Amino acid sequence: MRPEGAAAIVAGGASGLGEATTRALHDRGAAITIADLNEEKGEALAAELGERAAFVRCDVTDEDQVRAAVEQAATDGELRISVCCAGVGWAERTASKRGPHQLMPFETVIRINLIGTFNVLRFAAAAMNDNEPLEDGERGVCVNTASIAAFDGQIGQIAYSASKGGIVGMTLPAARDLSSRGIRVVTIAPGTFDTPLLGALPQEARDELGRAIPFPQRLGQPAEFAALAVHIVENQMLNGETIRLDGALRMPPR
């Protein structure tokens, strides 16, 4: 599918991996709806990009807000591209001297990362379902964001790993569910990337994280995530798969 002329929504599209993807799709001619909780960053990015870019405040855990964001994206034409990058993390062990893992943060991470991704996926797919098929029969593509933590979860990352593992688990059945309508579903599982979350770390700590990656020995760049997201959009044979983007990194226990 060609991004040029297509309507797209990027959830979590105002910063980090989402911002890079927003920029990459916009550069290739897509009309972008940036769906994010951060109004300041989202509106600033939309203003910077100008034509074919709009911002809508959206909490991915709120189905009414996700529905509204998807509807707004569809006003620019038939919604054909959906990318979900919204997510949070929480560090806590299953049990420790302080007692069992708190339930509320576990539920919060699952709600934002897994249920939020499901909300974006289901509403975007429903909108794509009504599209006229392209010449090759395709109606749309949904790209979700997991993490290598889905496979290599570290100590203290049970909530995050569970949420990302759920996204991986949704990928194939969703692709199979939607295959008869020509809608593809692919998940990217990034490794350690240079995002605002890591920006608060000292440079020495960031360099150490980069050296742990076999090759290239550096943090991943958001533009590299965005390049893969665009390639998934353009490569029709990619469907029902989770792609690790990690420089051959396999996370140790801690």
Q: What is the C-alpha to C-alpha distance for residues 252 and 254, in angstroms, rounded to an integer?
A: 5
Mean pLDDT of 47-74: 97
pLDDT of the residue at 200: 64
Instruction: Assess contact for 119 and 63: CB atoms under 8 A.
Output: yes
Strand-pairing partners, residue 100, are 95
Tokens representing 196 are 């605002």
Does the pLDDT of residue 251 top 70, yes or no? yes
Element (H, E) at 242: strand 242-245
Residue % of the chain over a pLDDT of 90? 90
pLDDT of the residue at 208: 86
Set out the domains of the chain in order of their start, with CATH numbers: 7-245 (3.40.50.720)
Length of the chain: 254
Per-chain mean pLDDT for the chain: 95
Residue % of the chain over a pLDDT of 70? 99
Strand-pairing partners, residue 183, are 140
pLDDT tens for 92-103 read 999 999 999 999
Q: Which of 55, 118, 123, 160 is catalytic?
A: 160
Q: What is the C-alpha to C-alpha distance for residues 182 and 164, in angstroms, rounded to an integer?
A: 25
Mean pLDDT of 108-117: 98
Task: Let me know the angle formed at the C-alpha of 104 by 98 and 107, rounded to the nearest 5 degrees.
Answer: 125
DSSP string, 25-62: HHHTT-EEEEEES-HHHHHHHHHHH-TTEEEEE--TT-
Instruction: Assess contact for 80 and 139: CB atoms under 8 A.
Output: yes
- E strands, 12-165, are 31-36, 53-57, 79-84, 95-96, 99-100, 140-145
Identify whether 192 is a catalytic site residue.
no
Backbone angles phi, psi at 223, to 5 degrees: -65, -30
Comparing 88-92, 143-147, 165-169, 225-229, the range with the smallest average pLDDT is 88-92
pLDDT tens for 20-53 read 999 999 999 999 999 999 999 999 999 999 999 9
Give the three-class secondary structure for 149: helix
Q: What is the C-alpha to C-alpha distance for residues 179 and 190, in angstroms, rounded to an integer?
A: 25
pLDDT tens for 138-154 read 999 999 999 999 999 99
Q: What is the C-alpha to C-alpha distance for residues 238 and 182, in angstroms, rounded to an integer?
A: 12
